[in-house]
Amino acid sequence: MAYPRLTDDGRCVVLDLHGVRLAEARPLVLRVVAEAARQGRAQVCLIHGSSTADPEGARPTIKRMLHEMLETGALRRTSRRRSRCRLNCYWPWI
Protein backbone atom coordinates (compact mmCIF):
# COMPACT_ATOMS: atom_id res chain seq x y z
CA MET A 1 0.00 0.00 0.00
CA ALA A 2 1.20 3.48 -0.76
CA TYR A 3 1.03 5.62 2.32
CA PRO A 4 -1.54 8.40 2.43
CA ARG A 5 -0.30 11.88 3.23
CA LEU A 6 -1.86 13.78 6.10
CA THR A 7 -1.20 17.44 6.89
CA ASP A 8 -2.78 19.74 9.44
CA ASP A 9 -2.25 23.51 9.49
CA GLY A 10 -4.32 24.04 12.62
CA ARG A 11 -7.53 24.87 10.74
CA CYS A 12 -7.68 22.38 7.86
CA VAL A 13 -6.71 18.74 7.74
CA VAL A 14 -5.68 17.49 4.30
CA LEU A 15 -5.75 13.77 3.58
CA ASP A 16 -4.26 12.71 0.24
CA LEU A 17 -5.60 9.26 -0.62
CA HIS A 18 -3.50 8.65 -3.73
CA GLY A 19 -2.32 5.05 -3.72
CA VAL A 20 -4.71 3.91 -0.98
CA ARG A 21 -6.88 0.89 -1.74
CA LEU A 22 -10.64 1.30 -1.74
CA ALA A 23 -11.09 -1.12 1.19
CA GLU A 24 -8.61 0.90 3.26
CA ALA A 25 -9.93 4.33 2.35
CA ARG A 26 -13.32 4.37 4.10
CA PRO A 27 -12.11 3.49 7.62
CA LEU A 28 -9.14 5.84 7.21
CA VAL A 29 -11.38 8.74 6.14
CA LEU A 30 -13.77 8.13 9.05
CA ARG A 31 -10.88 8.06 11.55
CA VAL A 32 -9.30 11.24 10.16
CA VAL A 33 -12.62 13.13 10.11
CA ALA A 34 -13.43 12.03 13.67
CA GLU A 35 -9.99 13.11 14.89
CA ALA A 36 -10.26 16.43 13.03
CA ALA A 37 -13.56 17.08 14.81
CA ARG A 38 -12.03 16.13 18.16
CA GLN A 39 -9.14 18.53 17.53
CA GLY A 40 -11.54 21.34 16.54
CA ARG A 41 -10.64 21.59 12.88
CA ALA A 42 -13.26 23.34 10.73
CA GLN A 43 -12.26 21.85 7.40
CA VAL A 44 -11.14 18.52 6.03
CA CYS A 45 -9.89 18.29 2.47
CA LEU A 46 -9.94 14.80 0.97
CA ILE A 47 -7.78 14.41 -2.13
CA HIS A 48 -8.92 11.37 -4.07
CA GLY A 49 -7.43 11.79 -7.53
CA SER A 50 -9.28 11.58 -10.80
CA SER A 51 -11.53 8.61 -11.21
CA THR A 52 -10.62 5.94 -13.72
CA ALA A 53 -14.00 4.23 -13.57
CA ASP A 54 -15.63 3.04 -16.74
CA PRO A 55 -18.42 5.21 -18.19
CA GLU A 56 -21.13 2.91 -16.83
CA GLY A 57 -19.70 3.29 -13.33
CA ALA A 58 -19.33 -0.44 -12.72
CA ARG A 59 -15.87 -0.16 -11.19
CA PRO A 60 -15.89 1.30 -7.67
CA THR A 61 -13.47 4.13 -6.91
CA ILE A 62 -12.46 6.15 -3.88
CA LYS A 63 -13.94 9.22 -5.54
CA ARG A 64 -17.34 7.57 -5.90
CA MET A 65 -17.15 6.17 -2.36
CA LEU A 66 -16.46 9.63 -0.88
CA HIS A 67 -19.31 11.23 -2.80
CA GLU A 68 -21.66 8.45 -1.67
CA MET A 69 -20.53 8.95 1.94
CA LEU A 70 -21.47 12.62 1.65
CA GLU A 71 -24.80 11.93 -0.05
CA THR A 72 -25.85 9.28 2.50
CA GLY A 73 -24.78 11.30 5.52
CA ALA A 74 -21.92 9.02 6.54
CA LEU A 75 -19.86 12.23 6.53
CA ARG A 76 -21.81 15.13 7.98
CA ARG A 77 -21.01 18.52 6.53
CA THR A 78 -22.45 21.97 6.11
CA SER A 79 -21.11 22.54 2.62
CA ARG A 80 -18.73 21.06 0.13
CA ARG A 81 -16.78 22.04 -2.92
CA ARG A 82 -15.93 19.52 -5.58
CA SER A 83 -13.20 19.74 -8.10
CA ARG A 84 -11.83 17.11 -10.40
CA CYS A 85 -9.42 15.58 -7.89
CA ARG A 86 -10.39 16.93 -4.52
CA LEU A 87 -13.32 17.21 -2.18
CA ASN A 88 -13.41 19.95 0.48
CA CYS A 89 -15.85 19.48 3.33
CA TYR A 90 -16.74 22.03 5.97
CA TRP A 91 -18.11 20.89 9.30
CA PRO A 92 -20.33 22.73 11.77
CA TRP A 93 -18.31 22.06 14.90
CA ILE A 94 -16.44 25.39 14.72
**What is the per-residue pLDDT across 3-59, written as a single tens digit (0 to 9) for each?**
788 889 888 899 999 888 889 999 999 999 888 888 888 888 888 877 665 556 667
Question: pTM for the full model?
Answer: 0.75
Answer for the pair 17, 4: CB distance below 8 angstroms, yes or no: yes
CA dist 54 and 31 (Å) reads 29
At 10, phi and psi to the nearest 5? 95, -15
CA dist 39 and 35 (Å) reads 6
Which letter does DSSP use for residue 73 in this model?
T
Domains of the chain, by residue range, sit at 5-90
5-90: CATH, from 3.40.190.10, 3.30.1370.110, 3.10.20.30, 3.30.830.10: 3.30.1370.110
**What is the per-residue pLDDT across 67-84, written as a single tens digit (0 to 9) for each?**
888 888 887 665 555 555
